[in-house]
């Protein structure tokens, strides 16, 4: 609406919200905070924000002057979580280019598809990941330069058309100032592709503004609320939704970061917690299940870790209880690549703290912050109330929520109807309920819900109930076709060492301890070695559905 001529004008300055600002601030005000990278050797590498900031300046200069990066050129990273990756996080957007984080766990053909779709010009790669990149190079025509950082044999990169550079040589001796350009806050800063569980991966492009606002939200006490007195163990990969925004938030408030690099197995994680004593950590449930088993087998002094953020998949109650017992308080959060990712955080409301209700609140996906508007939509498109009972698809909108997908430099962004409503809200594909106080409880992903005879069975609820059994290490439940009911649940369980499979006993446990209604109990059961995982460590249920369809699972029918 155009302003009336006599309208009162704001007297505030119009200053863009940019990643550049985060970089400059982090260096100036929090220069002594550290990025501590695990090296697998006696001492981790320690680099202050001031040093990393200077190196980011040098990197930006080298990318511009030596590699010819201009405008919105895409500079990709194929890297673990480490100090150099943080330098790239700031150098690339601050110079006006677009940081493209590549998921190193994707199958090779998908990785190539994504690089080509984004038309990446440069790839910064960790030496240890060269075996992954080298075989793809001939299929990546847009890539002109490869910059290698850290240990690893370089020879497989020789002979290609892309020029190969050493990260350290590239930045050595370069000027330590850069005349950062003025950047429109709505310009692209970084991009990340969804893992493509359905169809081709989709590119989400974050703006400077969305990253800045998301960082502020992450730093609020009701979200992670960390300060420069904290050390955050950033297990969630920097290629998985910008490590949930932690590096950006860190430069805003000086949070020290402990970066595991390639040492993501439970034993080194336990060791780095014991030695560096982080106060906070963030990762998907799978990582925590592994760490828990390790700590149970080989107890360690991990009492520094007061707060653990779990998200990316539902946190089983048994996991939360086990961590609580170890003195690590779990905080559950929900989000997606499309939501930057912070959507909800489960901090119990004041009236529940210290009461019997508190645990139940902590198990929900959490409460929406002011920056995330939410609504539930029923199967017929009707709006459902926040009554804690009506289940529908969650739709969200806000300044750090995607409104479209990237579709190449000259093409209009994509707004597929199954992902965006006509009025521009993001359809999350998650099904759940919202309480009158704004707490979200997800019952399933729309594609994982089991549709049995016109009723819905939550696979997540069955999994959580199963994982509470002492013999069960992990459990995944998927829908399989059933002549009578349309679909029925198939329970696939991973047993703990030394446990035997007694499906009747597990079934009884589900009703007695799990309070699962009889009609929801699985009649098909199987033991598997491990639950297949996606590239970001979540249960890959489509693999289980396929194995069932192919008849390669040894299923017992009760
Ligand atoms: P992908 O879609 O490839 O799994 P994302 O990391 O974007 O990649 O995943 C987002 C999805 O992860 C959400 O839509 C939701 O289904 C699931 N998810 C994230 N956090 C939680 C949580 N705390 N509880 C349950 N599901 C979650």
The pLDDT tens digits for 508-532 are: 999 998 889 898 999 999 999 999 9
The reply to whether ligand 1 has any atom less than 6 angstroms from the CB of 469 is no
**In this model, does residue 171 exceed pLDDT 70?**
yes
Taking only the tens place, the pLDDT of each residue in 382-438 is: 999 999 999 999 999 999 999 999 998 888 999 999 999 999 999 999 999 999 999
List the one residue out of 272, 337, 290 whose CA is nearest residue 311: 337
CA pseudo-torsion sign 195, 107, 479, 472: negative
**Is 445 close to ligand 1, i.e. is its CB under 6 Å away?**
yes
Active site residue 194: yes
CATH number of domain containing 310 = 3.40.50.12780
Indicate whether 483 and 430 sit together in one domain. no
DSSP 161-205: SSEEEEHHHHHTT--S---PPP--TTSEEEEEE---SSSS--EEE
Q: Are residues 48 and 25 in the same domain?
A: yes
Q: Facing residues of 426 across strands?
A: 396, 420
Name the average pLDDT for the chain: 95
Closest among 500, 517, 502 to 461, alpha carbons compared? 517
Cα(125)–Cα(438) distance, integer angstroms? 42
Beta bridge partners, 37, equal: 45, 259
Q: Cβ(334) to ligand 1 under 6 A?
A: yes
- Give yes or no for residue 195 CB within 6 A of ligand 1: yes
Q: How far is the CA of 449 from the centre of ligand 1 (A)?
A: 14
**Number of domains comprising the chain:** 3
Residues 313 and 426 in one domain: no
Catalytic residue among 274, 456, 487, 542: 456
Residues 6+ apart with CB under 8 A from 556: 503, 524, 525, 526
Residues 470 and 416 in one domain: no
Q: Which of 338, 395, 463, 474 is catalytic?
A: 338
243 lines ligand 1 (CB under 6 A): no
Q: For atom 19 of ligand 1, which residue has the closest CA?
A: 312
Stated as kind and residue range, the H or E segment containing 304 is none
Residue 363 in any domain: the answer is no
pTM: 0.90
Q: Of all protein residues, whose CA lies closest to atom 24 belonging to ligand 1?
A: 314
Distance 539 CA to ligand 1 centre (A): 11
Atom of ligand 1 nearest to the CA of 194: 3
429 and 530, same domain (yes or no): no
Q: What mean pLDDT do residues 281-301 have?
A: 93
**Which residue's C-alpha comes closest to atom 27 of ligand 1?**
313
Position in ligand 1 atom list of the atom nearest CA 240: 6
- The Å distance, Cα 536 to ligand 1 centre, comes to 10
pLDDT per residue over 125-153, tens digit each? 999 999 999 999 999 999 999 999 999 99
Residues 385 and 279 in one domain: no
Write out the residue range of the structural domain in which residue 402 sits. Answer: 372-446
Kindly give, in sequence order, each residue whose CB lies less than 8 Å from that of residue 30, ignoring residues fewer than 6 positions away. 49, 228, 251, 253, 254
Residue 347 belongs to a domain: no
pLDDT band at 92 (very low <50, low <70, confident <90, very high): very high
CATH code of the domain in which 397 resides: 2.30.38.10
User: Tens of pLDDT along 188-228?
Assistant: 999 999 876 556 789 999 999 999 999 999 999 999 999 99
Please give the share of the chain, as a percent, with pLDDT higher than 70.
99
Say if residues 36 and 46 touch (Cβ distance below 8 Å).
yes
Task: Give dist(CA 303, CA 506) in Å, integer.
Answer: 34
Return the residue whose CA atom lies nearest to atom 3 of ligand 1: 195
Can 338 be counted among the known catalytic residues?
yes
Give, in degrees to the nearest 5, the angle at Cα 524 between 523 and 526.
140
């Amino acid at each position: 609406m155009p302003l009336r001529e006599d309208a009162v004008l704001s007297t505030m300055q119009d200053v863009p919200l940019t990643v550049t600002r985060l970089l400059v601030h982090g260096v100036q005000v929090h220069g002594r905070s550290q990025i501590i990278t695990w090296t697998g050797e006696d001492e981790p590498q320690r680099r202050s924000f001031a040093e990393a900031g200077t190196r980011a300046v040098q990197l930006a200069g080298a990318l511009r002057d030596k590699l010819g990066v201009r405008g919105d050129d895409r500079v990709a990273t194929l890297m673990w979580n480490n100090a150099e990756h943080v330098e790239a996080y700031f150098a690339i957007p601050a110079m006006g280019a677009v940081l493209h984080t590549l998921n190193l766990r994707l199958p090779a053909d998908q990785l190539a598809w994504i690089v080509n779709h984004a038309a990446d010009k440069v790839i910064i790669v960790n030496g240890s990941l060269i075996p992954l990149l080298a075989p793809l190079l001939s299929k990546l025509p847009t890539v002109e330069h490869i910059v290698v950082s850290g240990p690893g044999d370089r020879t497989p990169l020789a002979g290609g058309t892309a020029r190969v550079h050493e990260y350290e040589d590239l930045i050595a001796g370069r000027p330590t100032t850069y005349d950062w350009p003025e950047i429109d806050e709505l310009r692209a800063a970084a991009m990340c592709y969804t893992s493509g569980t359905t169809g081709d991966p989709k590119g989400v492009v974050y703006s400077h503004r969305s990253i800045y606002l998301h960082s502020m939200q992450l730093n609020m006490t009701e979200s992670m609320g960390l300060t420069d007195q904290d050390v955050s163990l950033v297990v969630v990969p920097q290629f998985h939704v910008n490590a949930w925004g932690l590096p950006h938030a860190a430069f805003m408030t000086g949070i020290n970061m402990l970066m595991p690099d390639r040492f993501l197995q439970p034993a080194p994680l336990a060791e780095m917690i014991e030695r560096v004593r982080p106060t906070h950590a963030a990762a998907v449930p799978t990582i925590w299940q592994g760490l828990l088993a390790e700590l149970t087998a080989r107890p360690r002094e991990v009492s520094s870790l007061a707060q653990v953020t779990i998200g990316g998949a539902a946190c089983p109650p048994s996991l939360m209880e086990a961590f609580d017992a170890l003195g690590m308080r779990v905080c559950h959060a929900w989000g997606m690549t499309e939501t930057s990712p912070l959507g909800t955080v489960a901090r119990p409301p004041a009236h529940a703290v210290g009461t019997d209700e508190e645990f139940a609140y902590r198990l929900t996906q959490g409460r929406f912050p002011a920056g995330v508007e939410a609504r539930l939509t029923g199967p017929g498109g009707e709006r459902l109330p926040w009554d804690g009972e009506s289940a529908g698809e969650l739709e969200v909108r806000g300044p750090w929520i995607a409104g479209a997908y990237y579709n190449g430099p000259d093409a209009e962004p994509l707004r597929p109807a199954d992902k965006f409503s006509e009025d521009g809200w993001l359809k999350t594909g998650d099904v759940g309920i919202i309480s009158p106080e704004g707490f979200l409880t997800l019952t399933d992903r729309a594609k994982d819900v089991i549709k049995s005879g016109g009723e819905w069975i939550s696979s997540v609820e069955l999994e959580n109930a199963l994982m509470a059994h002492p013999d069960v290490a992990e459990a995944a439940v998927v829908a399989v076709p059933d002549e009578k009911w349309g679909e029925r649940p198939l329970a696939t369980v991973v047993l703990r060492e030394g446990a035997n499979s007694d499906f009747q006993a597990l079934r009884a446990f589900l009703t007695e301890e799990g309070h699962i209604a009889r009609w929801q109990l699985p009649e098909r059961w199987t033991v598997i070695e491990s639950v297949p995982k996606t590239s970001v460590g979540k249960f890959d249920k489509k693999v289980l559905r396929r194995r069932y369809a192919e008849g390669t699972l040894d299923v017992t029918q009760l």
